[in-house]
Amino acid sequence: MNRGPIPLPLHLNLAHSCWQSALLGWHASKLGWPIWSPAFQHNASEFSATQNIAEFPAALTREIQNRAAQFQRGIQMYHAHPFRRTLPIAKTIWQRGTTRLLDYGMGQNTQPLLMIPSLVNRAYILDLLPDKSFMHYLAKNGFHPMLVDWDAPGEAEKDFGLSDYVTDRLLPVYDFILSQHQMPPHVMGYCMGGNFALALAQLTPQKPRSLTLMATAWDFHAAGMPRFTADKAQQLLHMVNTTGELSVEWLQSFFSALDPFGAVEKFMRFAEKDMQSDSAKLFVALEDWLSDGVPLTPRVTADTMQNWYAHNTPARGQWEIAGQKILPQTLGIPTLAVLPQHDRIVSPASAAALATLIPGALSLSPHLGHIGMMVSRDADKMVWEPVVNWLKNQD
């Protein structure tokens, strides 16, 4: 695996362009060009009154050079860091194609729980480090958790769309769990996995004991969601049908646009860390996971980027799996929706649109981000513990 941030040229060029624009803005202001924001006008006037303006361009250039050096130093320190995630892989108890079901049970006669992650990133974000493992937390708190590991599409999955992943992978996994445990499991979905979980809950005759949807998008045109037009979707599909997949680099570029300077800022902060600290090791583990993405098949690309993002089929009641419209308002299952309030990937408004449709659904709104609810220092208290308490009340 190549260490990121991916795609590295994008982040380097973005940082360079942004910082250099400060110099251009300075020179433009000297020529009398207006400052766009009134708030900045006040700051600029205050600055001009207290600083030696003649020395400012040189000082600004030094600051740009210092920030660029710190950003590059952070990347180099990350690339050179010796830490590698070495957690043992859980036992595989079911497999078809590249999809596996991993068993995190601890041997007790506990309630089965099926966790479904996104297709876009690797499943091990749910079992990242010994003290950052939602799967082990569930196992220690009275459940028999099992995790779907999609892996990258193989020969069997290269022509898959979302319907195929549900009918040829998730439904057989669910039936396997029923046969092994003689009771329906709790079902959880994280990110895109929540959409899968919703479809599974509607399509299976023997309903799950409960449904937990964690940062699951539904209204793709809600406030805070990235805009992706039908024309852009058509251009993307033309490219993907030529290359045979939607690359990890394209996906990372798409999500980076939601917080364009985020990677620059976090690597600058990393450069100041103690490289022996647990914080530095967590940073490395998380960045390695982000770099370890998987491509999407052409049909999954059409189902998501065209049907979801461009045409908003879920919120319009037009999203279909195996020929059936997925309609959350028809569910009669105890449901908890986790809506992270600082989520840049799935806006709270998009996820809340799903929660409001499901009869009797409860919501949990932690002040965390999309990934932070699985790996931050407050994840266990703000998300894991209340989720487990809710699950225990569904018996």
What distance in Å separates the CA atoms of residue 287 and residue 252, rounded to the nearest whole number? 12
* Residue 108, helix vs strand vs coil: coil
What would the two tokens of residue 236 be? 């993307």
| Residue found by looking up tokens 């699985």 in the block | 374
Please report the pLDDT score of residue 87 as a whole number: 86
Question: Is pLDDT larger for residue 51 or for residue 227?
Answer: 227
Q: Residue 116 carries which side chain, given as an amino acid letter? A: I
pLDDT range class, residue 34, cuts 50, 70, 90: low
* pLDDT tens digits for range 70-97: 999 999 999 999 999 988 889 999 999 9
Whole-angstrom CA distances from 349 to 290, 342, 344, 373 are 25, 11, 11, 17
pLDDT range class, residue 12, cuts 50, 70, 90: confident
* Residue 7, helix vs strand vs coil: coil
DSSP letter string, 184-214: PPEEEEETHHHHHHHHHHHH-SS--SEEEEE
Q: Which domains, from first to last, does the chain contain?
A: 8-80 (no CATH), 91-225+295-392 (3.40.50.1820)
DSSP letter string, 276-320: TSHHHHHHHHHHHHHHS---B-HHHHIIIIIIIIIT-TTTTT--E
* Residue 5, helix vs strand vs coil: coil
What distance in Å separates the CA atoms of residue 184 and residue 161, rounded to the nearest whole number? 26
pLDDT range class, residue 45, cuts 50, 70, 90: low
What distance in Å separates the CA atoms of residue 357 and residue 112, rounded to the nearest whole number? 26
Please report the pLDDT score of residue 36 as a whole number: 57
* pLDDT tens digits for range 329-373: 999 999 999 999 999 999 999 999 999 999 999 999 999 999 999
Q: Is the pLDDT of residue 13 over 90?
A: no
Which of 69-73, 169-173, 195-199, 381-385 is the least confident region? 69-73
- Phi and psi dihedrals of 313, rounded to 5? -60, -35
DSSP letter string, 218-254: --TTSTTSPP--HHHHHHHHHHHHHHSSB-HHHHHHH
Sign of the C-alpha dihedral computed for residues 333, 387, 351 and 226 taken in this order: negative
Rounded to two decimals, the pTM is: 0.91
Q: Is the pLDDT of residue 118 over 90?
A: yes
Please report the pLDDT score of residue 38 as a whole number: 65
Residue 206 and residue 176 in contact, taking contact as beta carbons nearer than 8 Å: no
pLDDT range class, residue 30, cuts 50, 70, 90: low
DSSP letter string, 24-38: HHHHHHHTTPPPS-H
CA atoms within 13 A on the CB side of 278: 7
Sorted by sequence, the CB contacts under 8 Å of residue 130 that are 6+ apart come out as 87, 136
Please report the pLDDT score of residue 27 as a whole number: 62
Please report the pLDDT score of residue 47 as a whole number: 61
Q: What is the mean pLDDT of the chain?
A: 92
* pLDDT tens digits for range 288-299: 999 999 999 999
Please report the pLDDT score of residue 281 as a whole number: 96
Whole-angstrom CA distances from 269 to 249, 274, 317, 393 are 24, 11, 43, 41
The angle, 0 to 180 degrees and rounded to 10, between the axes of the packed helices 262-270 and 56-80 is 70
* pLDDT tens digits for range 139-193: 999 999 999 999 999 999 999 999 999 999 999 999 999 999 999 999 999 999 9
pLDDT range class, residue 37, cuts 50, 70, 90: low
Q: Residue 272 carries which side chain, given as an amino acid letter? A: E
Q: Is the pLDDT of residue 394 over 60?
A: yes
* Residue 92, helix vs strand vs coil: strand
